[in-house]
Each structure stands twice: as C-alpha cells, then as structure tokens.
Amino acid sequence: MASAATPGIFRGNPTNLPYIFGQKLDSPSNSKGTPIIFLVSDDISEQEAVKSLIGREGWHFETCESVDEFLARPRAIVPSCVILALSVPDLKVLEGQKQIARERAEVPILVISRCGDVRTSVQAMKAGAVDFMVAPFSHEILLPGIRESLERSRHALDRELGISELRNCYTSLSRRERQVMALVVSGLLNKQVGGELGISEITVKAHRRHLMLKMKANCLPDLVRMALELGSARKQIRLA
C-alpha cells in the first residue's frame, strides 16, 4: 500500500501521525477502558510513526497489514477506531472499507492518503469513512479526528450495552407477556388487548404488571421507548 517514501507524509515532526445498531459485540462493552487505535498499513515506517504518537497519547496501538487481518481479529470491547492508509485509489481497499463499516459499525474509520483528488475523497467517504485526510498533515489535524472517532465509538458501545440489556429483559418475558407487550405498545387499551388475545381484562392487567417489572419500565412511555429501541413493535416484538 504505502511506499518507501512514507516519512514524506508528515509535516514537521516525522512522528506526527495519528455504531442504533444492529450488531452485537462478542463480549460486554467497556466504554471506560483504554482506547485502541488500529492502523491498516503494510508500510513499516508508517506503522512506527503512528505507534510513536499513539504511545504518547496513552492509547493502545495495533497494526494490521490488510483489511482481512483486521476483520479476523476479535471485536474490541473498548472505544476504538481504525486508520486506513490509502496510498493510491484502490477498489479492493475501498470494498474492504465498506466491509469494515458493515461488520464493525462501532469502529469509526479514518482514511489517510496522499491522493487528495475529489474523486478519491468522495469514494472514501461513501465507503464509510468518518474523515479523510490528505498527507502531509500535522498531529494537530489528525489527533482531533482520532479523539472524535473514539467518542463516536464510545457512544456506540454504550448504546449497544443498553440494547443488550433490553434484549435480556425481553428474553425473560413469557410468550403471553410478549403478546401483551406488542399490543400495549401499539396503543391498545387493556380491554382491547384482552379481546385480541381472548383473555379477560384482569388477566391482561396481571400480564402487563409482570412484563413492566421484567422490562424495568416505570410507565407506558418507558415501555414504548424500549420497544422502539428493540425495533418495530410489530416486526421485532411479534405476536408469537
């Protein structure tokens, strides 16, 4: 990817280089852990330059020589971002970038390139990059981009954790409680819910009370919000 002239991409100090949701993390997220910065580049000098800067910022740094190598690694459970080095317009790399955006939505992508033409930058942004930087550039430009990306990742992890907790709560509901929940959040009154399910209004109230406790919902608006978080009440919370 990058050439032997990599040090030329830096201006000034040669070491200055820097998701809801529908995807589930492999492990519980930890948005307070030490962030990880991934660099996808097969250029050794480029890797060393980035490592020097990341070390001073207190972030963990990992290198990958290809997109496939990056995707083969376990999902990070801490805020992270990936810096993708694009030395020349490369359709294969852009396809790999799209794959990262699809499969690792919680990991923002920053693209660094010597090609500053509009077409290349537009292609990178359309492929899922949150930022596109043209070399040479200074750490004053790249570091803010990394920090913003890590903040995005942190929010994505927190959201995923919240959704995972909701999924666990919803899984604890009985078949009947799921039916009642689906009808209640769709706007039906208890009597109407009973009519739909062929049960008494008193029974509906009992199921409703139990599911509110299991979902940890304080009121109906809470339950509706949770249903929206989990997905469409009619599509994701099906009448089993």
Q: Which domains does the chain have, with CATH numbers?
A: 6-158 (3.40.50.2300), 172-230 (1.10.10.10)
Whether 2 shows a pLDDT value over 50: the answer reads: no
Q: Render pLDDT for 156-185 as a digit per residue (tens, 0 to 9).
A: 888 888 788 888 999 999 999 999 999 999
With vertex at residue 210, the alpha carbon angle to CA 175 and CA 219, rounded to the nearest 5 degrees, is 115
pLDDT digits 0-9 by tens, 143-160: 899 999 999 999 988 888
Residue 224 pLDDT more than 90? Answer: yes
**Is-above-0.75 flag for pTM?**
no
How high is the pLDDT of residue 36?
A: 94
* CA–CA distance, 120 with 135 (Å, rounded to integer): 13
